[in-house]
Amino acid sequence: MKGGGIMKAVFVHSHIFKYDNDYNFYSDGKLTYQMWEQRYLKYFDNLIVAARAKRKLGENLNISSGNRVEHIILPSLSKIKGRYKNKSDLKKKLKTVIEGSDALIARMPSEHAYLAIKIAKRLNKPYTVEIVGDVFSSFWTHGSVVGKLLAPIYYFKYRKVIKQSAYLIYVTKNNLQKKYPYNSSASFTNISNVDLPSVSDLILFNRLSKINKLDVRKEVNIGLIGSYSSKYKGIDRAIKSIKQLNSKGLKCNLIVLGEGNNRWLLDLSKKLNVENNVVFLGSLPGGKEVFEWLDNIDLYIQPSLTEGLPRSLIEAMSRGLPCVASSVGGIPELIDKKFIHNPKSYKELSEKIFYLLSNKKLMLEQAKKNYSYSKSYTSDVLNERRKDFWVNFNHKEFSGK
C-alpha cells in the first residue's frame, strides 16, 4: 500500500507521445503530467507510462514527463510490415516492465493494453482495466473493408478479457458496460475521462445573455472539436449540414478546432460552395483557451461515428452551450434525446440544429439543462469516486504485503 513501501504502477496504452532530444515526453491529448498527478500518483509512489512515441515536436503540446513518472517507448503494431517482429519485441518489453512493477493500469481499447493484460495475468500481477471506448465501432467506422473484418474479432477478444478482469473503470454510466460487461465478482466504477474545473453560475448567466441577443438571421457560429484527418468525427457531415442550414435562410458558420490533414474537408467545402462558412481554426493548448473559444460560439455539435464519452461535448455543456450530437457511445447519457441524431445522417443533424435555432426558448432551456448536468463531471466529484476505487484496489491487493 502507498506509503508502506515503494509501490510502482505501469500504465499501458497505444497513445503516441512526442519526445525531444532530451527525452522529455509530451502529449497532444490529455495524458499529461498533471493528469498522472491527479489520477495515479496519489495512490502509487511511481508510475511507468508505456506507450508508442515519436521524436517529433509541434505546437500546443502538453508536458507528460515529471517527477516519479518514467516513459518507456513501445513498438508500434500499426503496420503489417515488420508486425511479427514488433509484436515479439513488444511482448518481451511488456513482460520486463510488468515484472518490475506492482500493478498494471491497462487503458482499452488498445492492442498494447490487451497484450499487457495477458502478460499480467500470467505473472499474477494485479491490474485494472480502464474502458474508454468501443473497439468494434472504431474498426467498423474506419472506412476500410479490413476494418469491418477486424471489428468483430477485436470486439470478442476484448470483451472476453474485460469480462475476466477483477477491477474495471468505465468512462460511461451504462453504454460501455452493456457492450463490455463485467463479471459478478468484479470491483468496478464509472469515472469519466473528463475532469472539469469547478463551474461558476456566472458562466450560465453570460450564456443566457448571449442566447437572448442572438439573431440567427445575421450569423450563427457552430463549434466542433475533432481531428481533421479522422473520418469518424463526422466533420464531413457537419459541413454538409451547414449547406442545408444556409439553404433554409440561416447564416451559419462551422468552426472546427483540431489538427491533422484537412485537405479532404477543404475540397468538400469548396464542392458544396460553403468554403466561406467553414473555418479550420487549428488546435489550442486546452484548458482556459478552449473554454474561451467555447464561450464565443453559439452552438456545439458532436456528429461522431464512434465515441466513448466525448470530453469536448461535456466541456461545451459546462459553458452552457445548447448541443446536438450523434447517438453513439455514451452521448445519449449526456444530452436531451430530442437533440440526438443518426450518426450517418447529415440531414437529420441539420434538422435538429434548425429546430433548436428556430426556438430561442428551447435554446435557453437546453443551455440550463446542459450546464446543470455537467456539474456531475467536475474534478471534485470524480476525484472522490476515483479515490474510493484506488483505495479499495490497494487495500485488497497490497494490505499486509
At 293 the pLDDT is: 96
Q: What is the DSSP letter of 124?
A: T
Domains for the chain: give ranges and CATH numbers: 8-195+378-398 (3.40.50.2000), 201-376 (3.40.50.2000)
Element (DSSP H or E) covering residue 371: helix 360-374
At 400 the pLDDT is: 61
Model confidence pLDDT, tens digit, residues 193-249:
887 888 889 999 999 999 999 998 899 999 999 989 888 899 999 999 999 999 998
> Would you put residue 400 in left (φ > 0), alpha (ψ -120 to 50) or beta?
left
At 288 the pLDDT is: 86
- pLDDT (tens, 9 = 90+) of the chain, 401 residues, equals 454 457 999 999 999 999 999 999 999 878 999 999 999 999 999 999 999 999 887 777 889 999 999 999 999 987 776 677 889 999 999 999 999 999 999 999 999 999 999 999 999 999 999 999 999 988 888 768 888 999 999 999 999 999 999 999 999 999 999 999 999 999 999 999 887 888 889 999 999 999 999 998 899 999 999 989 888 899 999 999 999 999 998 999 999 999 889 999 999 999 999 999 999 998 887 788 999 999 999 999 999 999 989 999 999 999 999 999 999 999 999 999 999 999 989 999 999 999 999 999 999 999 999 999 999 999 899 999 999 999 999 999 987 65
Q: Are 78 and 110 in contact (CB under 8 A)?
A: no
CA distances from 27 to 20, 130, 191 (A): 12, 19, 21
Q: Annotate 51-67 with b (16+ C-beta within 10 A) or e (fewer).
A: bbbeeeeeeebbebbbe
Q: What is the DSSP letter of 355?
A: H
Distance between CA atoms of residues 232 and 142, nearest Å: 7
At 110 the pLDDT is: 96
Q: List Cβ neighbours of 85 (8 Å cut-off, separation of 6 or more).
A: none
Model confidence pLDDT, tens digit, residues 10-38:
999 999 999 999 999 999 878 999 999 99
At 90 the pLDDT is: 95
Distance between CA atoms of residues 44 and 1, nearest Å: 8
